[in-house]
Structure 1
Amino acid sequence: MKTVRSLLHGEIIRAVAFVTFGFLALFLFFDLVDELQNLARLASQGYKLQHALLYVALKSPTHLYELLPISVLIGCIFVMARLAQSSEFTILRTGGLEPLKALGTLLQLGVFFVLVTFLMGDYAAPWADRQGVLIKAQFQGNLTVGQTGAWLKERQASRHFAVNVRSFDGISHMQNVRIHEFNEAGQLLAITTAPKAQIGQDAWELQQAEQKSIVPIDGQKTLQFRSVTYATLVWPTEISGDMVAAAVLSPDHMGTWELFKYVRHLSSNNQNAQRYEIEFWRKVFYPLSCLVMLVMALPFAYLHFRSGQIAGHVFAGVLAGISFSLLNNVFSFAGVLQNWQPWLTAAAPALIYSAISLLGFWWMVLRQ
């Protein structure tokens, strides 16, 4: 059994690596073509070919994360179909490889692909995306949203804060920051502005900050306006750089843990977190789709092929992978619009394809 496992795992890993490399090269080529426009547009700011190549290279982890489940499906279908065509899998079945043992062998390899996909999506891709954003920010300016920038809310004890960040470099530096402080009754207490700010550990460091506040005097019957300027003002807050980036960038640029903290932050401040909850559960379930893809590919080993039929079945695998990716996106948009249960919205595509895979496995393998 150890020999059979080594054979299947080795063949599948090589096929998946080949398919992944092919898709990745194609995606990076398209990215490079898109960047050629920026080479001309940002030439006056010093944006050169080496910057474009580095920016495109930093998009590789994100592409790998998105492509791995599809590559696993296509690579495994190719291996299973080839083994069936050459009668090698028939020999393995004759030697005692039962369907459930074959399924267990593939699922053991699936755990490896799940781990790789998780590491890519949770660590490598967010870090690389941030570095790419930082490179672009040097030449085309910091990130911003609309005319007013990004808005965030936070509750601290009996105080409420509405924070506006006009632009952000994607890492820790911000420009034109405004912090509005309110009491429980919703009355404005103070406005703090700073042309520059940096995100630190559980605090923001505001540079050249000006704080305008309304201070009660004479037993809180009279209000006095006060304006104070600070060279450096430290504002304690739980709003991290990832949270600011989430208000500017797409939430798929965040890791699972950061998404979880941001969802809790939004919920504690009575803000709608539906979109981010769906993305959080997608991050949880997406790596597990590698297992689904392996189950879908196994029945191809029990088919009888003639010469030239493998290409057609591999093409069917490509279509199945594309449809899975499309269904993932459709359910995400529909879940936000229809306010569906986030975890069910994220898990629905995997559940649907799991049911199809198990039905195909039962019909083509166990029933025969």
Structure 2
Amino acid sequence: MKTVRRLLYRDILSSFALVMAGFLALFFFVDFIDDLDRFQRLGLGVGWAIWSCILKMPGRFYELMPIAVLIGTIFSLARLAQSSEFTILRTGGLSPARALGLLSIIALFFALTAFVVGDYLTPWADKQAQLLKSTGNGGVTNASGAWMKDRDGDYSYAVHVGRAKASGVMEDVLIMEFDPKGAMTTRLTARQGAVDSSGRWQLQDVKLMQWTRALTPLNRAAGSVTDPKNSQAPQDKLSDNPSVRELLLPQYSWQSQLPSGVVAAAVQPTWNMSTLELYRYTRHLSSQEQASQQPEIQFWRKAFYPFACMVMVALALPFAYLHFRSGGISVKVFGGIMLGISFVVLNAITGHVGLLRDWTPWLVASAPSLFYLGISMAAFGWLVRYR
């Protein structure tokens, strides 16, 4: 059995590597043409475009993993079946259950590879690619802005970040504080700021507007002014006729209840976040009663993605029990490509439909994999029983 295991694993891994290399070469060429034009317009050389494409390869590897596993495994098993090697293995004692067990081990290897690449290598490479891309646009990586909610006792805060740089500096920060009755008590705008590991926001060029009808915890409990003249926050008294007071401060420190990881998740794209970061982000949105359907679907997709690689190996196993006299490998590989494309299309459709229909996120993310796993096991059982 050790020899059989070595034969199958070596053949499947070499086929997978061949297929993945072909896909990566194709996407590298397409990305290089696109980046070359963009970097040349920015006055940068060819080396920048090449390095940018290299940094994109872990993400491409992660995206193409299921379909490459499917095509590579089908190609390997079809070639063994056409040369009658798989038939010899079956007559030598390789039962269907044992064959399924052998492929389960290499399927687990593919799943672990997808997890490591998707949660560690791809986020790091995407961050470096964003740093490289931000060279030509002033360091800005996200110009769409992000809204967040925070709470400190009975007081609530609406926080908006206009833009985020690759270095972690946030620009055009807006913080609005509301009292327990929902009235605005403080409005703070800052040109830029950053969040340290303890969750304290270090803001610069601050414009602080206060409504003196209520005491403001933003200044009294959480804030600290670095200007010596404003080192003590003013103690406002209740007033029936509120007045607005405006302060201009060079620096300001605000202790937020938002974890630094949640802030980083809000201002960066969700596709380059790890599974743990997505989980923390979705939990925060749920606790603040914000819409979390789309991030939750993204989280469950990422969580079930390694399982999809295992499903692809199971889907390829029935092809080893199909026998063709001529054109066997080409027909099977073409069928594998069509199956892989259909899986990607179904995965995208269920995501959009689940978001529109407000379906359960984990069910939306797992439905395509469970559907194709059922097809593969049904086909495998039928072939073993009747063929």
Shift of 1:161: 1.4
Residues 1:258 and 2:284 aligned together: no
Decide whether the 8 Å contact of 1:292 with 1:354 is kept in 2.
Answer: yes
- The answer for the alignment partner of 2:190 in structure 1 is 194
Shift of 1:78: 0.6
Shift of 1:320: 0.7
Structure 2: any 5+ residue segments left out of the alignment?
214-235
Decide whether the 8 Å contact of 1:130 with 1:171 is kept in 2.
Answer: no
**For the structure 1 residues 311 and 222, does the alpha-carbon distance in structure 2 shift closer, same or farther, using more than 3 Å as the test?**
same
Shift of 1:172: 1.1
Decide whether the 8 Å contact of 2:163 with 2:170 is kept in 1.
Answer: yes
In the TM superposition, 1:84-123 aligns within 5 A as 84-123=81-120
Q: Which amino acid aligns with 2:158?
A: A
- The answer for the alignment partner of 1:179 in structure 2 is 175
Shift of 1:235: 2.2
**For the structure 1 residues 219 and 85, does the alpha-carbon distance in structure 2 shift closer, same or farther, using more than 3 Å as the test?**
closer
Number of matched pairs: 363
CA distance in 2, matches of 1:257, 1:171: 21
Decide whether the 8 Å contact of 1:154 with 1:265 is kept in 2.
Answer: no
Decide whether the 8 Å contact of 2:186 with 2:209 is kept in 1.
Answer: yes
Which of these residues, 209, 212, 230, is aligned with residue 209 of structure 2?
212
CA distance in 1, matches of 2:354, 2:143: 24
SS of corresponding position for 1:272: coil
Which of these residues, 115, 127, 131, is aligned with residue 128 of structure 2?
131
- The answer for the alignment partner of 1:75 in structure 2 is 72
CA distance in 1, matches of 2:286, 2:181: 20
Shift of 1:307: 3.8
Shift of 1:12: 0.7
When structure 1 is superposed on structure 2, of 77-86 and 357-366 the one drifting more is 357-366
Decide whether the 8 Å contact of 2:212 with 2:238 is kept in 1.
Answer: no
Which of these residues, 278, 301, 316, is aligned with residue 320 of structure 2?
301
SS of corresponding position for 1:23: helix
CA distance in 2, matches of 1:161, 1:280: 26
Normalised to the residue count of structure 1, the TM-score between the two structures is: 0.93
- The answer for the alignment partner of 1:36 in structure 2 is 36
Residues 1:64 and 2:83 aligned together: no
Q: Which amino acid aligns with 1:122?
A: D
C-alpha RMSD of the superposition: 1.9
SS of corresponding position for 1:58: helix
Decide whether the 8 Å contact of 1:191 with 1:212 is kept in 2.
Answer: yes
Residues 1:167 and 2:186 aligned together: no
- The answer for the alignment partner of 2:141 in structure 1 is 143
Structure 1: any 5+ residue segments left out of the alignment?
none
CA distance in 1, matches of 2:351, 2:143: 22
CA distance in 2, matches of 1:200, 1:49: 36
SS of corresponding position for 1:286: helix
Q: Which amino acid aligns with 1:206?
A: L
Identical columns (%)? 45
Residues 1:280 and 2:278 aligned together: no
Normalised to the residue count of structure 2, the TM-score between the two structures is: 0.88
Shift of 1:274: 0.4
Shift of 1:59: 0.9
CA distance in 2, matches of 1:241, 1:36: 35
Decide whether the 8 Å contact of 2:265 with 2:277 is kept in 1.
Answer: no
When structure 1 is superposed on structure 2, of 186-195 and 267-276 the one drifting more is 186-195
SS of corresponding position for 1:96: coil
- The answer for the alignment partner of 1:312 in structure 2 is 331
- Point out the structure with max Rg over C-alpha: 2
Runs of 4+ in 1 over 6 A off after TM superposition: none
Shift of 1:70: 0.8
Shift of 1:289: 0.7
CA distance in 2, matches of 1:256, 1:125: 12
Shift of 1:145: 4.5
